[in-house]
């Protein structure tokens, strides 16, 4: 068994959401300190609501919240955890593993033949040692794809 995902993914995801909350607090702080937040609330709260709406939209559109917290390679299956939900995914259910990059972060997406309780695809950040090594991330994805094809070909012959 080997953990192939970034071990601090949960902290990373929480950090993104907390950064957004800190930005809203930073915008509200001057008007709260000088009292204008309560004397003339409409412009202040309006600006905060617009900023909050923008951040919520932006964060929901990015795939950060869909990342798996932990992915463990157990030789014949992947054990995946996101929040309190865990799933064991046999390699015979994996169709392919792809690498995508956005914002300087590389993600591995494992596409499934049949959806699990975590969905039809599993996205995760690779180990931190591979973050700046795109060829290493591609090797991990290629290894997962090759093992999935071997498991799938064994299933087809039965």
| Per-residue pLDDT tens over the stretch 1-37 | 899 999 998 898 899 889 988 998 898 888 888 888 7
List CB contacts of 150: < 8 A, sequence separation 6 or more.
Answer: 91
Cβ neighbours of residue 156 closer than 8 Å, sequence gap 6 or more? none
Nearest-angstrom CA–CA distance, 82 and 77: 16
pLDDT digit string, tens, across residues 105-139: 789 999 999 999 999 999 999 987 777 788 888 99
Q: Copy the structure tokens of residue 11.
A: 């902290």
Nearest to 127 by CA among 139, 115, 111, 145: 139
Give the separation between CA 124 and CA 78, rounded to whole angstroms.
12
pTM attached to this predicted model: 0.77
Locus of tokens 């040692």:
129
């Amino acid at each position: 068994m080997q953990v192939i995902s970034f071990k601090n993914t949960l902290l990373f995801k929480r950090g993104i959401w907390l950064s957004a909350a800190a930005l809203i607090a930073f915008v509200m702080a001057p008007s709260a300190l000088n009292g204008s937040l309560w004397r003339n609330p409409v412009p202040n709260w309006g600006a905060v609501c617009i900023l909050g709406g923008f951040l919520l939209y932006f964060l929901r559109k990015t795939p950060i919240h869909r990342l798996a917290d932990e992915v463990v390679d157990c030789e014949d299956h992947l054990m995946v955890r996101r929040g309190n939900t865990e799933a064991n995914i046999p390699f015979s259910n994996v169709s392919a593993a792809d690498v995508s990059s956005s914002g300087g972060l590389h993600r591995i997406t494992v596409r499934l033949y049949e959806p699990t309780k975590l969905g039809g695809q599993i996205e995760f950040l690779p180990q931190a040692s591979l973050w700046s090594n795109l060829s290493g991330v591609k090797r991990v994805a290629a290894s997962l794809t090759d093992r999935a094809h071997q498991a799938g070909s064994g299933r087809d012959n039965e």
